[in-house]
C-alpha cells in the first residue's frame, strides 16, 4: 500500500509556523525549529520494511507552502494518510481532512495524537477522518491496521477487530474496537531509517544542539516512566510506558556517529534511563570509544532521578545537555502538578550536573490558574538565582496551557476556569484560564526570565566557565549565544499577541 505520514505546513494569520515546543505542545514561530517526530519516524520505517511504499511528508521541515504540500500529496496519491494532532491544531486538521477528501476521495485518513485519542468521536463528527487511532504506540498499531486493510475486505470497517481504534462506519456512525492500549515491548519497534525521514532536515535548525548535525535518537522510553504530572500528555490510564534495552540504543548511537557523522544526539524520551540503566549506557558509550568521537549527548530527566555517581559517568561519556522540567519554585504548585520532587533537592542536582561540566536546561511554566503573584515572583527569583550562579545554562519559558485532555486540562474544565472553547486558542500564545492576578503579570515574568541571558551577571558567569578549558563552554559562549538570542527574540515576539 502507499502510505503517507503527513505533517502539513500550518501557518497562522501572522505568518508564523506551527512547531512542536515545550512538552511537545504546538507553538507558532516565525523562524521555527524542526523536531523529528520520533514515534512516527519509527512507524514510517516499520511500514517501509513491511514492503509498503512510504512517503515521509513533513511539509514544515521540507519548507513547503500549504498549497505545494497539498499538490504534492495529491500527485503521490496515497492509499492511507496519517496525521498527528494536538488540541491547538485540531480544527486545522479537521478542515484539511475535508480538503483532502475532495481531491483524494479514495484515500483513508487516519488521525492519531493525544487529543483525538481522548475524544475520537469528536474528530470523526467534525471531519472527514476515517479512523482515529487511540494509542500512543502509533507504529505498532499502524502496522496491524495497514496489514488488515491491505487484505482488501470491503467490510473492514465492520469487521476490523484491532483494539484501540474508532472507525467511521457511516456519515455520523462510528464503531469502537475497545479501549485497550497494549503495552508494547519497545525492543520490537523499529530503529529509525534516517534516510527515509530525511534526517538532515532536522539536523541544523534546533536550538538544543550546540554542534551540528544533530539528531534525535530513537527514544529509549515511550511515554514516561513517571507519568503522573497533571499537565503532561504522557499521563493517564490509557498510557503505559515501555523501555528499550541499553545495548540496542547503544548500537543506534554507534551507527549515527560512525555512519552519519552526527555530532550531537538528543533522546527526547519523556524521562531517559535512570539508575543502573543510565550507568550501563554511559559505560557502554565509553567501552565503545564513542565518547571520544566529538559527539555530545543529551537527555530529559527529572530532579531526584540521577545521583552524583551516575552524573559523573554521564559526563565522562560526553553527555552535555540535560533538560529538566522546573515548572515552578513553590511547593504548592509542584504538589498540585504531581511533580514528585522537592525544591530543596533542585539545587543539589544542578550542582552535581554543573560540577561535572554538563549544561542543565530548565523548562519553566507560568500561568497556572491558581498562581499568585507571590508564587510567580518566587519562580522568577529562583530561576534568576540559578542562572546567575551558573547552575543552569539555558532556559525555556512557556505559558501552561490546558490541552489534549490531560488531568490539568480536565481540572480546568471541571472547575470552570477555562476562558475559551476555541481549540485554536490553546497554542500557548496567551493565558486562557482565569487567574488570581492579571495575565499581563505572567507575560512580564516570561520577559524577565528570557532577559536573563543578556544580564551582565549571567554573561560574566559564562566567561568564568572558560577557565575550565572545556570545549563545550567556549562553544556555548561564542557559537550558541547567537542562536540563543534569536530564539529569545522569537519567544518575546510571540508574547505580543498576548498583549493585543
Partner 1 sequence: MIRAGQCFSVGLASLGINREYSMYSAADDDYLDFLIRVVPDGVVSPWLAKCKVGDHVEIGGPYGDFCLLEEQVKSKEYVFIATGTGIAPFHSFVKSFPTLRYHIYHGVRHEDERYDIEHYAPDRYSAAVSRPRLGTSRSERVTNLLEQANLKNDSLYYLCGNQKMITDTIALLLAKGIPGGAIFTETFF
Site residues for partner 1 per CB under 8 A = 163-164, 178-180, 182-185, 225-228, 236-237, 240-243, 275-276, 304-307, 310, 338, 340-342, 345, 348-349
Residue 28 beta carbon to partner 1: minimum distance, rounded to whole angstroms: 33
- What does each C-alpha distance from 221 to 137, 187, 441 come to in angstroms? 12, 10, 37
**Mutual angle of helices 138-149 and 38-49, in 10-degree steps:** 30
Between 90 and 271, whose beta carbon lies closer to partner 1? 271
Q: What's the CA gap between 246 and 230, in Å, rounded?
A: 29
Q: How far is CA 206 from the centre of its chain?
A: 13
Residue 344 beta carbon to partner 1: minimum distance, rounded to whole angstroms: 8
SS3 297: strand
Residue 132 beta carbon to partner 1: minimum distance, rounded to whole angstroms: 16
Between 251 and 307, whose beta carbon lies closer to partner 1? 307
Between 103 and 348, whose beta carbon lies closer to partner 1? 348
What number of helices (H) and strands (E) belong to the chain? Answer: 18, 17
Residue 394 beta carbon to partner 1: minimum distance, rounded to whole angstroms: 23
Q: DSSP of 227-243, one letter per residue? A: ---TT-SS-STT---EE
Between 339 and 441, whose beta carbon lies closer to partner 1? 339
Residue 471 beta carbon to partner 1: minimum distance, rounded to whole angstroms: 29
Q: Computed over its alpha carbons, how large is the radius of gyration of the chain? A: 22
Q: What's the CA gap between 358 and 369, in Å, rounded?
A: 34
Between 59 and 236, whose beta carbon lies closer to partner 1? 236
Between 106 and 161, whose beta carbon lies closer to partner 1? 161
Residue 353 beta carbon to partner 1: minimum distance, rounded to whole angstroms: 12
> Among 451, 472, 456, 479, which Cα is nearest to 204's?
479
> Among 357, 318, 428, 338, which Cα is nearest to 86's?
428
Residue 71 beta carbon to partner 1: minimum distance, rounded to whole angstroms: 41
Residue 94 beta carbon to partner 1: minimum distance, rounded to whole angstroms: 27
- Order the strands of the 2-7 sheet from edge to edge: 53-58, 2-7, 80-84, 108-112, 131-133, 165-170, 173-176
Residue 181 beta carbon to partner 1: minimum distance, rounded to whole angstroms: 8
Residue 386 beta carbon to partner 1: minimum distance, rounded to whole angstroms: 16
Between 9 and 236, whose beta carbon lies closer to partner 1? 236
Residue whose entry in the numeric block shows the C-alpha cell 520494511: 49
Between 203 and 306, whose beta carbon lies closer to partner 1? 306
Tally the C-alpha atoms within 13 A of residue 144's C-alpha that lie toward its C-beta: 15
Q: Which three cell numbers stand for residue 224?
A: 514516561
Residue 294 beta carbon to partner 1: minimum distance, rounded to whole angstroms: 31
Q: Which three cell numbers stand for residue 187?
A: 525492543
> Among 215, 464, 275, which Cα is nearest to 354's?
464
Buried b (16+ CB within 10 A) or exposed e, 416-426: ebbbeeebebb
Between 26 and 313, whose beta carbon lies closer to partner 1? 313
Between 205 and 304, whose beta carbon lies closer to partner 1? 304
**Left if phi > 0, otherwise alpha if psi is -120 to 50, otherwise beta: which for 306?**
beta
Residue whose entry in the numeric block shows the C-alpha cell 566567561: 463
Between 17 and 339, whose beta carbon lies closer to partner 1? 339
**How many CB atoms are closer than 10 A to CB 98?**
14
The residues pairing with 81 across neighbouring beta strands, listed in sequence order, are 4, 109
DSSP 452: G
Q: Which three cell numbers stand for residue 453?
A: 541571558
Q: What's the CA gap between 434 and 292, in Å, rounded?
A: 52
> Among 455, 478, 480, 454, which Cα is nearest to 466's?
478
Between 292 and 348, whose beta carbon lies closer to partner 1? 348
Q: What's the CA gap between 228 and 238, in Å, rounded?
A: 12
Residue 410 beta carbon to partner 1: minimum distance, rounded to whole angstroms: 13
Amino acid at each position: 500500500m502507499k502510505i503517507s505520514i503527513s505533517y502539513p505546513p500550518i501557518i497562522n494569520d501572522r505568518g508564523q509556523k506551527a512547531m512542536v515546543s515545550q512538552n511537545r505542545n504546538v507553538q507558532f514561530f516565525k523562524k521555527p525549529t524542526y523536531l523529528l517526530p520520533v514515534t512516527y519516524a519509527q512507524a514510517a520505517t516499520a511500514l517501509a520494511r513491511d514492503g509498503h511504499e512510504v512517503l515521509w511528508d513533513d511539509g514544515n521541515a521540507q519548507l513547503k507552502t500549504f498549497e505545494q504540500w497539498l499538490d504534492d500529496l495529491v500527485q503521490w496519491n496515497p492509499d492511507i494518510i496519517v496525521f498527528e494532532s494536538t488540541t491547538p491544531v485540531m480544527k486545522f486538521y479537521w478542515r484539511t481532512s475535508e480538503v483532502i477528501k475532495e481531491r483524494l476521495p479514495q484515500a483513508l485518513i487516519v488521525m492519531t495524537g493525544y487529543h483525538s485519542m481522548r475524544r475520537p468521536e469528536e474528530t470523526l463528527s467534525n471531519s472527514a477522518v476515517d479512523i482515529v487511532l487511540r494509542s500512543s504506540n502509533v507504529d505498532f498499531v499502524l502496522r496491524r491496521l495497514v496489514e488488515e486493510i491491505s487484505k482488501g475486505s470491503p467490510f473492514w470497517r465492520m469487521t476490523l477487530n484491532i483494539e484501540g481504534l474508532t472507525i467511521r462506519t457511516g456519515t455520523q456512525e462510528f464503531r469502537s474496537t475497545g479501549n485497550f492500549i497494549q503495552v508494547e515491548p519497545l525492543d520490537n519497534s523499529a530503529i529509525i531509517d534516517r534516510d527515509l525521514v530525511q534526517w538532515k532536515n532536522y539536523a541544523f535548525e534546533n536550538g538544543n544542539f550546540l554542534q551540528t548535525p544533530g539528531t534525535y535518537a530513537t527514544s529509549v522510553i515511550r511515554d514516561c516512566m513517571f507519568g503522573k504530572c497533571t499537565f503532561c500528555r504522557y499521563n493517564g490510564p490509557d498510557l503505559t510506558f515501555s523501555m528499550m534495552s541499553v545495548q540496542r540504543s547503544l548500537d543506534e548511537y554507534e551507527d549515527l556517529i560512525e555512519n552519519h557523522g552526527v555530532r550531537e544526539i538528543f533522546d527526547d524520551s519523556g524521562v531517559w534511563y535512570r539508575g543502573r540503566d543510565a550507568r550501563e549506557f554511559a559505560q557502554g558509550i565509553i567501552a565503545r570509544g564513542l565518547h571520544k568521537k566529538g559527539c555530545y549527548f543529551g537527555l530529559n530527566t527529572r530532579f531526584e532521578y540521577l545521583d552524583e555517581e551516575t552524573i559523573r559517568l554521564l559526563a565522562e561519556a560526553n553527555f552535555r545537555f540535560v533538560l529538566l522540567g522546573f515548572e515552578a519554585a513553590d511547593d504548592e504548585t509542584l504538589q498540585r502538578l504531581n511533580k514528585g520532587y522537592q525544591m530543596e533537592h533542585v539545587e543539589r542536582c544542578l550542582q552535581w550536573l554543573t560540577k561535572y561540566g554538563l549544561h542543565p536546561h530548565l523548562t519553566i511554566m507560568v500561568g497556572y490558574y491558581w498562581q499568585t503573584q507571590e508564587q510567580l515572583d518566587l519562580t522568577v527569583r529562583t530561576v534568576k538565582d540559578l542562572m546567575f550562579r551558573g547552575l543552569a545554562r539555558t532556559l525555556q519559558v512557556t505559558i501552561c496551557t490546558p490541552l489534549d485532555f490531560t488531568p490539568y486540562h480536565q481540572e480546568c474544565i471541571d472547575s470552570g476556569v477555562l476562558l475559551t472553547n476555541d481549540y485554536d486558542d490553546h497554542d500557548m500564545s496567551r493565558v486562557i484560564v482565569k487567574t488570581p492576578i492579571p495575565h499581563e503579570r505572567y507575560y512580564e515574568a516570561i520577559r524577565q526570565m528570557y532577559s536573563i541571558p543578556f544580564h551582565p551577571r549571567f554573561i560574566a558567569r559564562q566567561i568564568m566557565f572558560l577557565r575550565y578549558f572545556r570545549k563545550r563552554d567556549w562553544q556555548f559562549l561564542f557559537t550558541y549565544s547567537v542562536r540563543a538570542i534569536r530564539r529569545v527574540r522569537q519567544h518575546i515576539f510571540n508574547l505580543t499577541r498576548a498583549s493585543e
